[in-house]
């Protein structure tokens, strides 16, 4: 019997579910589209979508299952929900930042957060970032926080330098 993922993020798109799923699957290396279902003729008076058009796309990113729906322009994403991508090194941060921010909203970039071209928010962070802020009263955590608040894309070396008290924090606006 296959293991069922208990909680699956369900993403509502106006009509870009398939495009977005393919886009995300092209960014994350261990990813795939697992199923596409289409709107039937039945219920057209309620769903209002053309029969045969994409209704739902199920996909996986790095083993995490997602479902994307073409539900019309009723709802949109906002920053109150985001997906955190924990990166092993600066190369990974740079990769995901470049790919996911392409065509997105540059004004929505702060402290490792970005908004992609579909309006979905992502946090691109070092995998061990929590270590820098474990003791919120330490000088290292204070300095790392000041440095992080000045960044858009996170710079691991700069955060480490700030934490250790070496050098000046990143300039306003960050990387």
Query: What would the pLDDT profile of 76-117 be if each residue is shown by its tens digit?
Result: 999 999 999 999 999 999 999 999 999 999 999 999 999 999
Residue 170 has pLDDT above 60, yes or no: no
> Residue 124 in 3-state DSSP?
strand
Whole-number pLDDT of residue 174: 46
Q: List domains and CATH numbers for the chain.
A: 10-70 (3.30.720.100), 82-164 (3.10.180.10)
The pairing of strands 10-13 and 64-70 is parallel
Whole-number pLDDT of residue 3: 77
The pairing of strands 82-87 and 121-126 is parallel
Whole-number pLDDT of residue 4: 83
pLDDT > 70 in the chain, percent: 95
C-alpha pair distances (Å), 28 with each of 1, 51, 63, 105, 107: 27, 31, 10, 20, 24
Residue 65 has pLDDT above 90, yes or no: yes
Single pTM value for the model: 0.90
Whole-number pLDDT of residue 168: 60
Residue 173 has pLDDT above 50, yes or no: no
């Amino acid at each position: 019997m296959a293991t069922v993922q208990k909680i699956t993020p369900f993403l509502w798109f106006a009509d870009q579910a398939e495009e977005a799923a393919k886009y995300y699957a092209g960014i994350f290396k261990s990813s795939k589209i697992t199923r596409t279902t289409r709107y039937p003729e039945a219920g057209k008076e309620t769903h209002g979508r053309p029969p045969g058009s994409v209704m739902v796309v199920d996909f996986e990113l790095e083993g995490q299952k997602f479902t994307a729906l073409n539900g019309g322009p009723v709802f949109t994403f906002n920053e109150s929900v985001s997906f955190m991508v924990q990166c092993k090194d600066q190369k990974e941060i740079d990769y995901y930042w470049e790919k996911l921010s392409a065509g997105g909203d540059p004004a929505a970039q702060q402290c490792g957060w970005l908004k992609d071209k579909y309006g979905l928010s992502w946090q691109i962070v070092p995998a061990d970032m929590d270590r820098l802020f474990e003791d919120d009263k330490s000088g290292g955590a204070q300095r790392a926080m000041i440095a992080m608040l000045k960044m858009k894309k996170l710079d691991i070396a700069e955060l480490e330098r700030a934490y250790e008290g070496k050098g000046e924090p990143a300039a306003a606006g960050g990387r």
